[in-house]
Amino acid sequence: MTETIVAAAVRYGDHIHSLPKPARHHTIMWDWLATHPDEFAGGDDQGFITSTGRYVLREEARLIAEKANQLLPTAYDLSELYSEDVW
């Protein structure tokens, strides 16, 4: 079975926060800020959760989404994946 991208996610130290698709990274950051008001909402990095439960950064996520034929025709960045590229 081919690994796919299932959700956008943001890493905060050892914690990975994600919301179900079609959530965007900014939605995840606002959600984090609502529950952690004293912490930086931008996170350490932005990535995605795969169908195998892995957290991957934008570059690897792009390769996975391309291989799984998940990219929308409007996908524009050739090196990184954005949630707008898959849902």
Flag whether pLDDT at 66 surpasses 90. yes
Q: Give per-residue pLDDT as tens, 16-65.
A: 999 999 999 999 999 988 988 888 777 889 999 999 999 999 999 999 99
| 3-class DSSP state of 76 | coil
Peptide bond into 22 cis (omega under 30): yes
pLDDT at 55: 98
Q: Assign 18 to helix, strand or coil.
A: strand
